[in-house]
Amino acid sequence: MRAPRPLASLWGSINRRHSLAAGDQGANQDVPRLKALAPRRVFDFMQSHYTGEVFVSRPTAISPSEYRRALGHYPTGVAVVTAQEEGGEPVGMVIGSFTSVSLDPPLVGFLVDRGGSTWPRLREVGKFCVNVLGDHHEDVCRAFASKAPDRFSHASATSETGSPRVPDAALWVDCDLDSVLPVGDHDFVLGRVKDLGIGDEGGLPLLFLRGGYGAPRIASLEAEAPGLSPVLRLADLVRPEIEAVARDLGLECAVSAVVAGEVVILAAAGVGTVRGAAATHVGSTYPLVAPLSPWFVAWASEAEQRRWIAEGSRLAGVDFEAVAWAQLEATRRRGYVAIKHRPFASRFQQLFLDRRGIEGSAGEEITTILLEAAANASDSLRDVDDLSVAATMHAPIRDQSGRTVLGMDLIGIKGDEDSTFLRRCRDTLLHATGRATQLLSLA
Ligand SMILES: Cc1cc2nc3c(=O)[nH]c(=O)nc-3n(C[C@H](O)[C@H](O)[C@H](O)COP(=O)(O)O)c2cc1C
């Protein structure tokens, strides 16, 4: 017979694969002493596992769903790991477990389910590219996660190792397969870094947390963009108004501002109501040039208005003078703008708000969209009070000097609403911008 084991050694045996000699009953006497010290669960665990002879270190009773649910509270980045098979087939899968491993030699790694069908193919190729997705890449992630047939259209570039590459990824790391360590039901894959690069310097990575996607909010990064912090504070002040509008109308309502010549969407409410749109438009930007967003310049100095017109004309290669001055005058007279041409509104959304077209052909697309905007604006100016084909509505939030400091955007009007509802949209928007102006004057 062995003497009763000290308490410390009992604690150790919870975590160690440990077995005492059969027939050793003495350790039983330690269990009541543990009761006073240990949390209830540990005590229950010990009572059910401590047979007097054997301590089993398996913590058992954690079901896969319990494990997933709990671990889902830990945020991860999202990467698409891609490779090109010899026969020409591209392969790729979504990975949340990507991490840096070693500096010298430079190694990165990820954990992959050994039972999956994509991993054996990646392994066979022996080299891969890790594309860390940006916060505007939720659609890319979903395309790869659901194995959408056109998913590789998002990986249109090619890396040094010949793997498909997502052109505007937050970060990409091109690797040769270094080694594979089996761990539980997963393999820990180590990649030897051959080449790497970051995408848009100011871009943020996509995050995955509790089954949802989003972007990090890092105050120090936000403060890096000059001029952003003050307008973010203004946007926060008027947030109750956009929330009320979104609730009241069942549409998305956003607030935007001009920062360094670009319109930036700062906050949004009612997100998810727009068909085919990215999850959120917050953080999207587009250039403030004629004939886009006249509500930001209609009350500005003449010099600013001239710059707006000149820059738009330069980008489009067409003189916008006539239409742009008319737009500014109509915006001042009515106090809001309704964008009426639905195909234009949805192309604008795709190019700028969902940030799908920014790489590659962006220059050409901006020219096209500016020309369309000009044609659309002249059309709208003919019948300014007709809201019947409105796709989006916009109104300024002005400070005490009358200058536009923020814009309020009503997005996602579907096109089948009756004229009473559209008038209610306009009136609700104008009412909200009026109240927002008051809120800012009190702040
Ligand atoms: C956000 C997210 C993160 C994921 N992270 C991993 C991961 O780290 N390791 C893994 O094996 N699977 C991960 N998956 C699941 C794989 O992408 C998925 O199981 C795989 O594509 C299934 O296809 P397969 O059987 O062809 O491999 C993740 C999925 C999502 C949506």
Kindly give the number of the ligand 1 atom that is closest to the alpha carbon of 78: 1
Atom of ligand 1 nearest to the CA of 93: 21
Q: Tell whether pTM > 0.85.
A: no
Res 385: pLDDT: 67
pLDDT of residue 240: 95
pLDDT of amino acid 348: 81
Atom of ligand 1 at shortest range from CA of 147: 21
pLDDT of res. 380: 76
Atom of ligand 1 nearest to the CA of 213: 1
Which homologous superfamily does the CATH classification assign to the domain defined by 69-207? Electron Transport, Fmn-binding Protein; Chain A (2.30.110.10)
pLDDT at 88: 85
Q: Does the beta carbon of 95 lie inside 6 Å of ligand 1?
A: yes
Closest residue to atom 31 of ligand 1, CA basis: 145
Start and end residues for every CATH 3.30.450.40 domain found in the chain: 217-442
pLDDT of residue 284: 84
Expressed in angstroms and rounded, the spacing between residue 180 Cα and the centre of ligand 1 is 17
Report pLDDT for 73: 95
| 116 Cα: distance to centroid of ligand 1 (angstroms) | 8
Is domain 217-442 given the CATH code 3.40.50.1820 in the classification?
Answer: no
Q: Measure 441 CA to ligand 1 centroid, in angstroms.
A: 50
- Res 279: pLDDT: 63
> H/E/C letters for each residue in the chain?
CCCCCCHHHHHHHHHCCEECCCCCCHHHHHHHHHHHHCCHHHHHHHHHHCCCCEECCCCCCCCHHHHHHHHCCCCEECEEEEEECCCCCEEEEEECCCEEEECCCCEEEEEEECCCCHHHHHHHHCEEEEEECECCCHHHHHHHHCCCCCHHHHCCEECCCCCEECCCCCEEEEEEEEEEEEECCEEEEEEEEEEEEECCCCCCECEEECCEEECCCCHHHHHHCCCHHHHHHHHHHHHHHHHHHHHHHCCEEEEEEEECCEEEEEEEECCCCCCCCCCCCCCCEEECCCCCCHHHCCCCCHHHHHHHHHHHHHHHCCCCHHHHHHHHHHHHHHCCEEECCHHHHHHHHHHHHCCCCCCCCHHHHHHHHHHHHHHHHHHHHHCCCCCCCCCEEEEEEECCCCCEEEEEEEECCCCCCCHHHHHHHHHHHHHHHHHHHHHHHHC
Report the pLDDT value the prediction gives residue 133, as an integer from 0 to 100: 96
CATH 2.30.110.10 placement within the chain: 69-207
Low-confidence ranges of the chain (pLDDT < 50): 1-57, 356-361
Ligand 1, pocket-test mutation among 68, 82, 93, 110, most atoms within 8 A of CB? 93
